[in-house]
Amino acid sequence: MFLGKVVGTLWSTKKTPDLEGVRFLIVHPIDLDKEPTKNIVVVADRLGAGVGETVLCAYGKAARSAIGNQDMSIEAAVVGIVDRVDVHEDTLSDELRAAARELSARDGGRR
């Protein structure tokens, strides 16, 4: 699993039949121990996450279970919408502390 920030939506009018009715989001992974990645992940979403929200995503079988169909043609899916992230500051390096503070600021003070 990984944490990510929803940065957009993806629309596809032509797709395999098992993907009809599935909403897709563009998610930027959040990585607290490295520089922010430049990668994005397209994830299926049945929970209704919106742009700007932090989400918990899963890959593979866990993703297909979250969507409800093990035969579905997806690799990643939203399995939770994150309300808050608590990182124990005393266990972090200075670089990780700065990343954790930035992530906490992103949640808009929702606690």
Query: What structural domains does the chain harbor?
Result: 2-106 (2.40.50.220)
Q: How far is CA 107 from CA 21, 39, 63, 64, 93, in A?
A: 29, 21, 24, 27, 22
Does residue 35 have a pLDDT over 50?
no
User: In the predicted model, what is the mean pLDDT of residues 1-28?
Assistant: 91
- With residue 8 as reference, give the H or E element that holds it: strand 2-10
Which of 34 and 15 is assigned the larger pLDDT? 15
- Per residue in 42-54, pLDDT tens? 999 999 999 999 9
- Per residue in 53-107, pLDDT tens? 999 999 999 999 888 888 888 999 999 999 987 766 666 667 766 766 676 665 4
Which of 35 and 13 is assigned the larger pLDDT? 13
Looking at residue 52, its pLDDT comes to 92
Looking at residue 32, its pLDDT comes to 63
Looking at residue 37, its pLDDT comes to 67
